[in-house]
Amino acid sequence: MRRLIEGYRLFHQTYYQEHREMFDQLALGQAPKAMVISCCDSRVDPGLIFNAAPGEIFTLRNVANLVPPYSPDGNYHGTSAAIEFAVCSLNVEHIIVLGHARCGGITALLGAHEGDFIGPWMRMAEPARDAALAQVGDADHERLHRVCELESLKISLANLAEFPWVRERVAAGRLALHGWYFDIEKGELLTTGNGSGVFERVV
Ligand SMILES: [Zn+2]
């Protein structure tokens, strides 16, 4: 804890003081152009890896960066609530679902992890596991893991596209959806930028 308070002290003495004008402006409101849906994983920090300033990206983090299906059933939908706010109130122009290598949520999906919440949460990505197994089998576990991470991104993007107010805005050209993948080990960024569903390295 001391390490974090010291970290805050340093932030306050340096970054905060050097950017007072920006923080004064941000205190009036936020107008991010992009939403990033990322994993909770402590190694994947969207603000850091995209070199984004406060106010630039509206970030949601959950286990394995999943977007659940649109299901307005009155239950507690933290992810869908954040997406609704970003799209309908902030009018973001881009939503990036950011996957990453070595994802623990995907490890849980490929294993037998259940738990009170993680098992049921990861169940929505089961078609990704099935698709990955069909593509590469289970002999090379590392490759299976990676393919499953990429397939799971596709499921999240497909689910996202089914939210009615997302669909409307995408059709009107006011919103674009993207699947990106951060390879922690190699430092590479893959995207589906060509719209084919094939991930290609951009950096
Ligand atoms: Zn993860």
pLDDT grade for 195, boundaries at 50, 70 and 90: low
Backbone phi, then psi, for 62, in 5-degree steps? -145, 180
| 118/8 Cα distance (integer angstroms) | 31
pLDDT grade for 194, boundaries at 50, 70 and 90: low
Q: Decide which of 140 and 114 is more confident.
A: 140
| 146/203 Cα distance (integer angstroms) | 18
CA of 101 to the centre of ligand 1 (A): 7
pLDDT of 94-110, one tens digit each? 999 999 999 999 999 99
**Chain CA centroid to CA 126, Å:** 18
pLDDT surpassing 70 at residue 130: yes
Domain residues of the chain, as ranges?
1-29, 31-201
Share of the chain above pLDDT 70, in %: 98
pLDDT the model gives residue 115 = 87
CA of 44 to the centre of ligand 1 (A): 8
pLDDT the model gives residue 198 = 85
Calculate mean pLDDT across residues 68-97: 97
Calculate mean pLDDT across residues 73-100: 98
CA of 136 to the centre of ligand 1 (A): 21
Neighbours of ion ligand 1 (CB under 5 A): 39, 41, 103, 105
pTM of model > 0.85: yes
Nearest to 95 by CA among 168, 172, 31, 37: 37
Q: What is the CATH number of domain 31-201?
A: 3.40.1050.10
pLDDT the model gives residue 193 = 63
Q: Mean pLDDT score of the chain, rounded to an integer?
A: 95
pLDDT of 150-172, one tens digit each? 999 999 999 999 999 999 999 99
CA of 149 to the centre of ligand 1 (A): 9
Cβ 57 vs Cβ 140: under 8 Å: no
pLDDT the model gives residue 171 = 97
pLDDT surpassing 70 at residue 62: yes
Residue 193 structure tokens: 């930028």
Q: Which residue blocks in 126-193 are alpha helix, DSSP H?
A: 126-136, 141-161, 164-171
CA of 2 to the centre of ligand 1 (A): 27
Residue 51, classified by CB atoms within 10 Å of its CB into exposed (0-12), middle (13-18) or buried (19+), is exposed
pLDDT the model gives residue 114 = 76
Calculate mean pLDDT across residues 1-27: 97
pLDDT the model gives residue 75 = 95
